[in-house]
Structure 1
Amino acid sequence: MKTILQFLLCLLLTLPLSAQNHVFLETESFQDKGGWVIDQQSFVVMGSSYLMAHGMGRPVKDATTTITFPQKGKYQLWIRTKDWAPFPKGPGKFQVVVDGQPIKTIFGESGSDEWKWYSGGEIDVKSEQMKLALHDLTGFNGRCDAILFTNAPKFTPPDKPEALTAFRNKLLNLTDKPTEAGNFDLVVVGGGVAGTCAAISASRMGLKVALIQDRPVLGGNNSSEIRVHLMGDVDKNHYPKLGRIVREMDNGDPGNGNADAKEYGDARKFSIVKAEKNISLFLNTHVYKVEKKGNAIAAVIGRDIATNQEVRFTGALFSDCTGDGTLGHLAGADYRFGRESKTDTGESLAADKADDFTLGTSNLWASLERDTASSFPETPWAIPFSDEYHIDEAKADWQWETGFGNFNTITDAEKIRDHNLRAIYGNWAYLKHNKQAKYAKRELAWVAYIGGKRESRRLMGDHVLNQMDIQEGKQYPDGTVTATWTIDLHFPDAKNSKYFEGQEFFAGTKHIKVAPYTIPYRCLYSRNIPNLFMAGRNISTTHVAFGSTRVMRTCGMMGEVVGFAAYLGKKYNTSPRGVYQEHLPELMAIIKDEPTAAKP
């Protein structure tokens, strides 16, 4: 016993010292990102964001910062990175530059696609402040997670997830209480079209709303970062009031993957939200933790994807508009992932056997015609294309898609994106080198590095919408949003499967028409988390029905309904289910635009 106590005492005494011996830097917090971009898509796996050199084959400007040391002397340098395309070695090469002197080690070409700490050798720190730079060598998506200087003897930073998270949190001083954002009537997590519409709707009903988005722009898949057009009709509603906010945010239909970012209306969406006096907007904030009181959500904690500062949001009601069902998952909400079987649902279009197959993720791209010819590097690490199989296109459309059950759309988000990049760059290199008459003057102008997801978790509500509901056009008493999109379930393109079985990146579909149908309000709240709404592609449906409900104008109208229901939740101090059970006529009257009750 005495030995154990002595060991624990020694451990406690050495912890502050070891922290003083470490100078730790998350790269996303660099003062000047240069041409590097922040990627937070794999936060749920890594516990962190990172910087990436997304130059589409052209080296990007250095990311730079100033770092302060507690004392001068010799330090060991460690860089946390990976080789994202080790076939056998990838192109993501970069250097670390300390006070103008490049470290000899070239990072990002290790041949391993696992995130690891790599030694940069010994650094002689001669000043308490030194300049640090990440110097990209290729423009092909080199990435760096964190940098560590240590003078602790024989110290190797941890790589195992739990130990690494504890190490990060300690050196980032995240053990302290997060900043309090305040208490809200409705906390909306996810700033895509659904979440933004939910926040605006609730705000206009007089509620105090927090809108939390993990990227610097609103709109999700319809933002300039992903560039998917809005689909679904808003003019066939049984209740014409629904869709008004969607129309405000709608920037027209520029199509998928166009090169002009302005066509996707980032500024329009932002200005509409900022004009709402009842909305507090929190961009660049990834929600990763939930506090509960009983079975209800009491608060959520988000981390700034650049500064790593944490913020706590308390509220009466919450809405999961993340697409991935992230908030619901953190709170323990019932959910489904993948396809149900015919036996499970009675649907003719369901799979014969339940599995984890999901629709995939797209990274769209575009090229532009220039006045002069341009070159593009060879890409031996990319997916190989040939005269026998290549895709002769000057821009992408929805078919550029990876997933299909071969990858998990949540835990494999980085692998999916990287597989898409290998396909895009490999095909473009083939076109530039082998079809010069057509492509000599075309330049790769834009490639999405944020994935446009279609399917992941579906949170279960009191009603699970199915194929029969939508094909028969069933009208439930709580039918709200009118949906019109076909049952649109993607699958690997047959020719693509022939050449890349199990590694497909190109999709096909078969559109199955539906009559306009309404989505019951009971699909828009969790069946086991009493104060949780949901809107967007993660609502309560089967996989088959999801193929119709998932398009963004439809998802936006779901958000509008959530805002109305949240108003009633506050008015009567009740739950989302309580609104259905006790106040459904009033909810439907609001949706029908009947003058029933004044706003608070």
Structure 2
Amino acid sequence: MLKENFSLKRTLKTQKIVTDFLIVGGGISGVCTAIVAARSGIRVVLVQDRPVLGGNASSEVRLWILGATSHMGNNNRWAREGGIIDEILVENLYRNREGNPLIFDTILLEKIYEEANIQLLLNTSAFEVNKSDDKNISNVKAFCSQNSTMYDIYANLFCDASGDGVIAFLAGASFRMGAETKQEFGEGFAPDVKDYGELLGHSIYFYTKDTGAPIKYVAPSYAKKDVGSLPRIRNYKLPEYGCRLWWVEYGGRLDTIHQSEDIKFELWKVIYGLWDYVKNSGKFPEAENLTLEWVGTIPGKRESRRFEGDYILVQQDIVEQKRHDDAVAFGGWAMDLHPADGVFSDKNGCTQWHSKGVYQIPYRCFYSKDIDNLFLAGRIISVSHVAFSSTRVMATCAMGGQAVGLAASLAIKSSLKPRDFSSGENLIKLQLELNKIGQSIPFVPLADSDNLLNAATLDSSSSLSLEGFPADGEWIELEFSTAQMLPFKKGELYTLEFPFKVLNDTTLRFELRTSSKMQNHTPDVMLEEHLVFLNKGKRNVKISLKEVLKEDQYVFLCFMKNNDLQVKCSQTKVTGILSVLNKTNKAVSNFGRQDPPSDIGVDTFEFWTPYRRPRCQNLAFKISPSISCFEIQNIKNGFLRPYEKPNAWVSALDDENPTIKLNWEHQVTINEIVLMLDNDFDHPLESSLYGHPEDVLPFCVRDYSLKKCKSTAVYTKEDNYQTINKIILSEPLNTKELILELKRPSGNVPAAIYQILIYS
């Protein structure tokens, strides 16, 4: 037994920890920061003040992870974030395609515990910062409520990924909180603070359960009694629950840091009042058997402090898609502001304005301009209030965290500070190492002089020469204008043929469109128009184009809305090929087109977006000449996803067992091989609630073998589902030849690879 006599004073157990890199905050950005840094070979301590990882994506809040793909509701094709966040979301899809947030908790925890270089401290709150001088942090003190232990953590570098910026704040770093005026940065979308407010509020979600029998509900006394009169709740419809109720929001006129508990309690009042309204107003008879299964105990917080770096990202960076030499990540969520009064406001729950494509985020946004050894990650990075409304979403935050984690590793190994990687050779090294883990920085190809593939002669059993897609899919009515996206070659003049079912004599309107910016997938430039009169019946429509492109670029073969026409689809799926429709997606303020006020500095354009699988199909067609942009040399071009073209090697449609051969003039020694595969970067992979139609994305190569000659296998993989396969050979391979044998993913999907990296 333990027995102690009376003492005038006792001190808590204190543990001193010395590490390379301390990360405060175990949300998605902190998790990705920690994993990247640890895998890069430095010691990491990750401090999280909650019992689980994931922040707003955890089972405590249950918000789905999303980013540039925006529920497939904008024109950002193939824009899902790469790297560690892709690895996590693909793993979650494989284990948890139904979107159970409890399972997602286990995946995050497993990813952290698998890294020997990470020491995780859960239930531990950082509360004190000490500095070695005015511009450098020396150590951080934190307290764990569960083991009554004080931690005194010393590190060379620090990262604040805490959401409210507790470490950056205590260190004295410059910050902003609230909205800038329109005049400060010339941002037309900056809100009228008096009318709209200047902070986004918190939300709390709930889940319901069908008990199979009638169940009553008696509301607590603190539940609001009049919520049924609120405009948003008057329109509430079952069975909406979870983060589909993002609009149950409050707190934007309060101090979202120090009054967070007050905000939470007000949201509880609203939630329990809403459920009282549902169960007892008589307006929801379908709720008779429903009960509340779960209500969040902490709110999902959107906004508080933003800390200043060497650059502040603003609205114009997003809308104009400005290029930055120090780009390390990208965003693509809409600029998305919410009225400060939240659920009590009579305004729309959000005001969203999209850009025409993804935008770069510069490295200078990810470290403090004042504290020399402090990185910033998550929603606290150096952005204006308007830009924050886009960069704040979790998948975008994850990409920033990945950049911070790698920069920290490189800095530790070279005895440098965060700012030292903002330019020059250090920046180039950072960008290269990020792309090697799948970051896919826009306009920054992966160009690695150490990649042995550069010196190899490439050959493949086949490469796709696309002559069209077979007409083996369903007929779809032109309820919406519908387009087949194809990568056209410059200087080519194409002839197209599409099968149609004509319900009544009518005129088909066809438009050939492309994007005003090469990298975008917004069809805002019309090149030519054809009007074709069609008699009733089934027939093939042939269109001979007149325009040729000056550069390789995606085009949109647009068949405009006509309820008297049906077009035939195909079950064939090919990397970098999609059909899209000029339809709506109200989940992201997509009403078919974007028509902003003329004075807010936002573009007007149409949305052309895909259906989700399994409904999503390409159109059946024939094309002459064939499209031949899927050649084997693409695996050397440094691009990890489609931009102005697919950027992948794709095997022929009839090649059941495609093979790639690499030959070197002289013998090489190989220790590591990295395959970057196609896991459909167009699919959002929301982490919870949404659900997905498959547990493995249909473009992914599942089975392959690496051989040093036709009969000697050095590595075999079966049932792969991950995007990046990093293969460390058990012993060095000395060879002049390497053969990669693959199986096509399925009968209607050819094999594809974006990049291959080979290192000695």
TM-score range, shorter chain: 0.5 to 0.7
Counterpart residue number, 1:456: 304
- Is 1:284 the counterpart of 2:123? The answer is yes
Separation in structure 2 between the aligned mates of residue 471 and residue 411 of structure 1, nearest angstrom: 33
Q: Deviations over 1:513-536 (max 9, x none)?
A: 352111000000000000000111
CA 1:393 to 1:357, structure 2 compared with 1: closer, same or farther past 3 Å? Answer: farther
Q: CA deviation at 1:343?
A: 1.6
Q: Name 1:559's counterpart in structure 2.
A: 401
Within-5 A mapping of 1:370-389: 370-385=211-226, 388-389=229-230
Of 44, 54, 73, 1:219 maps to 54
**Could you tell me how far apart the structure 2 residues matched to 1:476 and 1:439 are?**
53
Q: How far has the Cα of 1:440 moved from its partner?
A: 1.7
Other-structure match for 2:428: 585
Structure 1 counterpart of 2:285: 437
1:233, distance to aligned residue in structure 2 (A): 3.6
SS in 1 for 2:188: coil
Aligned equivalent of 2:328: 480
Q: Name the one with the larger strand percent.
A: 2
Q: Deviations over 1:12-67 (max 9, x none)?
A: xxxxxxxxxxxxxxxxxxxxxxxxxxxxxxxxxxxxxxxxxxxxxxxxxxxxxxx9
1:367 matched to 2:202:
no
Any conservation in 2 of the 1:242–1:591 contact (CA below 8 Å)?
Answer: no
- CA drift at 1:385: 2.5
Aligned partner (choices 388, 409, 413) of residue 571 of structure 1:
413
Q: 1:171 to 1:196 in 2, by over 3 A?
A: farther
Question: What SS is found at the alignment partner of 1:344?
Answer: helix
SS at match of 2:26: coil
The corresponding residue for 2:14 is: 178
Alignment of 1:296-335 (within 5 A): 296-335=136-175
- Specify the alignment match of 1:188 in structure 2: 23
Q: How many residues align?
A: 423
Letter in 1 for 2:202: T
Asked whether the equivalents of residues 331 and 359 of structure 2 are also in contact (C-alpha less than 8 Å), the reply is yes
Task: Please show how residues 423-572 of structure 1 align to structure 2 within 5 Å.
Answer: 423-435=270-282, 437-491=285-339, 496-497=344-345, 507-572=349-414
Residues 233 and 484, structure 1, Cα contact 8 Å, conserved in 2: yes
How far the C-alpha of 1:304 sits from its partner, in A, is 0.6
Aligned residue type for 2:380 = N
**CA drift at 1:351:** 3.2
Preserved contact between residue 342 and residue 353 of structure 1 (Cα < 8 Å):
no
Contact 1:218–1:266 (Cα < 8 Å) also in 2: yes
Structure-1-length-normalised TM-score: 0.65
Measured in 2, the distance between the counterparts of 1:447 and 1:68 equals 42
1:226/1:198 Cα in 2 relative to 1: closer, same or farther (>3 Å)?
Answer: same
Give 1 or 2: higher helix fraction: 1
Choose which of 14, 32, 40 in structure 2 pairs with 1:197.
32
Deviation at 1:68, TM superposition (A): 9.7
Unaligned runs of at least 5 residues, structure 1: 1-66, 72-169, 499-503
TM-aligned CA deviation for residue 183 of structure 1: 1.4
Between structure 1 and structure 2, the one with the greater Rg is: 2
Q: What is the DSSP-based 3-state SS (H/G/I as helix, E as strand, rest coil) of the residue aligned with 2:19?
A: strand
Matched residue SS, 1:537: helix
SS at match of 1:303: strand
* Residues 1:227 and 1:211: Cα distance change in structure 2 (over 3 Å): same
SS of 1:329's partner is helix
Please report how far the alpha carbon of residue 451 of structure 1 lies from its aligned counterpart in structure 2 after TM superposition.
Answer: 1.2
Displacement, 1:482?
A: 1.6
Deviation per CA, 1:314-336: give whole Å up to 9, x if none.
10000011111111001111100
Equivalence for 1:165: none
- Residue 259 of structure 1, CA deviation: 9.5
* AA matched with 1:442: L
Write the distance in 2 (CA, Å) between the matches of 1:328 and 1:477.
26
The 1:241–1:313 alpha-carbon spacing in structure 2 relative to 1, beyond 3 Å, is farther
Q: Structure 1 residue 188: deviation in Å? A: 0.7
Task: Give 1:119-138 correspondences, 5 Å limit.
Answer: none
Distance 1:222 1:523, change over 3 A: same
* Structure 2: distance between partners of 1:227 and 1:510: 22
SS of match in other structure, 2:179: coil
Q: Pick the aligned partner of 1:338 from 169, 178, 195.
A: 178
- Residue 143 of structure 1: aligned partner: none
**2: CA distance, partners of 1:589 / 1:459:** 27
- Counterparts of 2:15 and 2:341 in 1: how far apart (Å)? 48
Distance 2:93 2:9 in 1: 43
Asked if the contact 2:197/2:339 (under 8 Å) is kept, the reply is: no
Q: Deviations over 1:144-170 (max 9, x none)?
A: xxxxxxxxxxxxxxxxxxxxxxxxxx9
RMSD across aligned positions (CA): 3.3
Bigger mean CA offset, 484-493 vs 567-576: 484-493
Q: Which residue of 2 aligns with 1:262?
A: 102
Distance 2:448 2:170 in 1: 38
- Is the Cα–Cα contact under 8 Å of residues 202 and 299 in structure 2 kept in the other structure? yes
CA-to-aligned-CA distance 1:433-483 (integer Å, 9 cap, x gap): 223622221000010011111110001100000000111001110011121
Q: 1:377 to 1:274 in 2, by over 3 A?
A: same
* Whole-angstrom CA distance in 2 between matches of 1:451 and 1:172: 37
Do 2:68 and 2:358's aligned partners in 1 also have CA atoms closer than 8 Å? Answer: no
Contact 2:76 2:356 in 1 (8 A): no
- Structure 2 stretches lacking a partner, 5+ long: 437-446, 452-758
**How far 1:306 moved relative to its partner?**
2.7
- Correspondence 1:229 to 2:64: yes
Paired amino acid for 2:287? Y
Question: What is the match of residue 83 of structure 1?
Answer: none
Q: CA deviation at 1:307?
A: 3.6
Distance 1:398 1:474, change over 3 A: same
Residue 171 to residue 376, structure 1, CA distance change in 2 (3 Å)? farther
**Distance in 1 (alpha carbons) for counterparts of 2:186 and 2:383:** 14
Q: Cα 1:532–1:372, aligned 2, differ >3 Å: closer, same or farther?
A: same
Moved more, 512-521 or 554-563: 512-521
3-state DSSP of counterpart to 2:45: strand
8 Å CA contact 1:237–1:482 kept in 2: the answer is no
1:110-131 per-position Cα deviation (integer Å, ceiling 9, x unaligned): xxxxxxxxxxxxxxxxxxxxxx
Contact 2:219 2:272 (8 Å CA) reproduced: no
Question: Displacement, 1:191?
Answer: 0.5
Letter aligned with residue 277 of structure 2? Y
**SS of 2:291 mapped into structure 1:** strand
Letter in 1 for 2:152: R
Q: How much has 1:261 moved relative to structure 2?
A: 3.6
Question: Secondary structure of the residue that 2:151 maps to in structure 1?
Answer: strand
Report how far residue 586 of structure 1 moved.
1.5
SS at structure 1 position matched to 2:350: strand
* Cα drift, residue 403 of structure 1: 1.4
Q: CA deviation at 1:171?
A: 9.1
Amino acid paired to 1:529: I
TM-score, scaled relative to structure 2: 0.52
Structure 2 residue aligned with 1:12: none
Amino acid at match of 2:434: I
Structure 1 pair 492–297 and aligned structure 2 pair: CA distance change class (3 A): closer
Distance change (3 Å), C-alpha of 1:383 and 1:238: closer
- Residues 438/558 of structure 1: CA separation in 2 closer, same or farther (3 Å cut): same
Preserved CA contact (<8 Å) 1:323 1:536: yes
Residue 19 of structure 2 contacts residue 154 of structure 2 at CA under 8 Å; is this kept in 1? yes
- Residue number in structure 1 paired with 2:252: 404
- CA distance in structure 1 between the partners assigned to 2:174 and 2:34 by the alignment: 24
Give secondary structure in 1 for the equivalent of 2:127. strand
SS in 1 for 2:158: strand
Q: Aligned equivalents of 1:329 and 1:560: distance in 2? A: 22
1:379 positional shift: 3.6
Measured in 1, the distance between the counterparts of 2:147 and 2:343 equals 45
Quote the Cα distance in structure 1 between the aligned partners of 2:412 and 2:404. Answer: 12
